[in-house]
């Protein structure tokens, strides 16, 4: 892990902040569509579902873009956050694995509107290769490296079965990709310098189940912990 040496102008935006910026961006876009010109931290925080002090602190990491007594200019803040997140440029994304999930992702409207252009759909199954989905023709995974290079793909989404994920991962990294969004239920091994983010549908349900169980069991004080001899 690279040691963070604080620079004169420290550009180290906390991870927790980065994770919330897209949230603010969405809320702001909604406001822009409704014609709102300026917004206070209080209102924006409400719309984004966070505390207003946190919102202000988050935004302060980007710079001082508000006006005291007034609030934030919606359009300007959209621009600043977009720029910080790198959404003012176009990102070519390839989706590997065109099962149910891959299809859903290909058809998901939320990508294109944020500068993510789907530049390739690939699958190993010959029955799927050639299908037209969301305006693209599915290509065979044999073409993976050439698609990445020819179309300047810099982000790859892995939506393959778990068994194929690591191999796909290795190949895209060898082809120069350093940002991967992984939907396969495996922990990918990657070298330093490669970012992997993971979305796991069943993990989210498990976390919900944990809390649901707590609620069902009559609150935080649980009467009997060891109902009866569960022994190794």
Partner DNA sequence: TCGACTTTGTGCATATCTTCACAAAGGCAC
Partner DNA sequence: GTGCCTTTGTGAAGATATGCACAAAGTCGA
Q: What residues numbered 111-140 form the site for its own copies, per CB under 8 A?
A: 111, 114-116
Task: Give the SS3 label for residue 175.
Answer: coil
Is residue 181 near its own copies by the rule CB under 8 A? yes
Residue selected from 49, 126, 135, 229 as contacting its own copies according to rule CB under 8 A = 49
Written as six digits, the tokens of 220 are 């935080």
Residue that has been written with the tokens 């991962």 in this structure? 169
Is residue 71 near DNA by the rule CB under 7 A? yes
Distance in angstroms (rounded) separating the CA atoms of residues 201 and 62? 32
Is residue 130 near DNA by the rule CB under 7 A? no
Binder of residue 56, out of DNA, its own copies, none (CB less than 5 to 8 A by kind)? DNA
Contact of 108 with 91, CB cutoff 8 Å: no
Is residue 214 near DNA by the rule CB under 7 A? no
Residue 125 has φ and ψ, to the nearest 5°, of -85, 120
Q: Which residues pair with 180 in a beta bridge?
A: 156, 196
- Taking CB under 8 A as the binding criterion, the range among 4-12, 52-60, 123-131, 136-144 that sits at the site for its own copies is 4-12
Residue selected from 57, 83, 117, 214 as contacting DNA according to rule CB under 7 A = 57
Helix H or strand E encompassing 64: none
Contact of 129 with 140, CB cutoff 8 Å: yes
Binder of residue 208, out of DNA, its own copies, none (CB less than 5 to 8 A by kind)? its own copies
Distance of CA 208 to the CA centre of its chain: 20
Binder of residue 149, out of DNA, its own copies, none (CB less than 5 to 8 A by kind)? none
Is residue 56 near DNA by the rule CB under 7 A? yes
Provide the mask over 3-42, with x wherever binding to DNA is found by CB under 7 A and - wherever it is not. -x---------xxxx----------------------xxx
Residue selected from 53, 137, 162, 187 as contacting DNA according to rule CB under 7 A = 53
Is residue 207 near DNA by the rule CB under 7 A? no
Written as six digits, the tokens of 122 are 């690939």
Distance in angstroms (rounded) separating the CA atoms of residues 85 and 61? 13
Q: By CB under 7 A, how many residues form the interface with DNA?
A: 27
Contact of 31 with 47, CB cutoff 8 Å: yes
């Amino acid at each position: 892990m690279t040691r963070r040496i604080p620079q004169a102008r420290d550009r180290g935006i906390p991870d927790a902040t980065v994770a919330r910026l897209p949230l603010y961006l969405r809320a702001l876009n909604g406001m822009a569509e409704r014609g709102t010109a300026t917004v206070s931290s209080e209102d924006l925080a409400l719309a984004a579902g966070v505390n207003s002090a946190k919102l202000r602190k988050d935004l302060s990491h980007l710079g001082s873009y508000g006006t005291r007594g007034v609030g934030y200019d919606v359009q300007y803040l959209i621009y600043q956050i977009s720029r910080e997140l790198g959404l003012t440029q176009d990102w070519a994304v390839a989706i590997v694995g065109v099962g149910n999930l891959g299809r859903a992702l290909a058809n998901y409207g939320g990508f294109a509107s944020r500068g993510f252009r789907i530049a390739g759909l690939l699958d190993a199954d010959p029955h799927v290769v050639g299908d037209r989905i969301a305006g693209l023709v599915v290509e065979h995974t044999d073409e993976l490296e050439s698609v990445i290079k020819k179309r300047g793909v810099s982000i790859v989404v892995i939506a393959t079965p778990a068994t194929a994920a690591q191999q796909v991962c290795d190949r895209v990294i060898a082809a120069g990709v350093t940002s991967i969004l992984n939907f396969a239920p495996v922990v990918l091994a990657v070298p330093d310098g490669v970012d992997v983010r993971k979305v796991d549908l069943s993990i989210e349900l498990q976390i919900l189940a944990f809390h649901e169980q707590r609620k069902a069991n009559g609150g935080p004080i649980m009467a009997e912990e060891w109902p009866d001899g569960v022994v190794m």
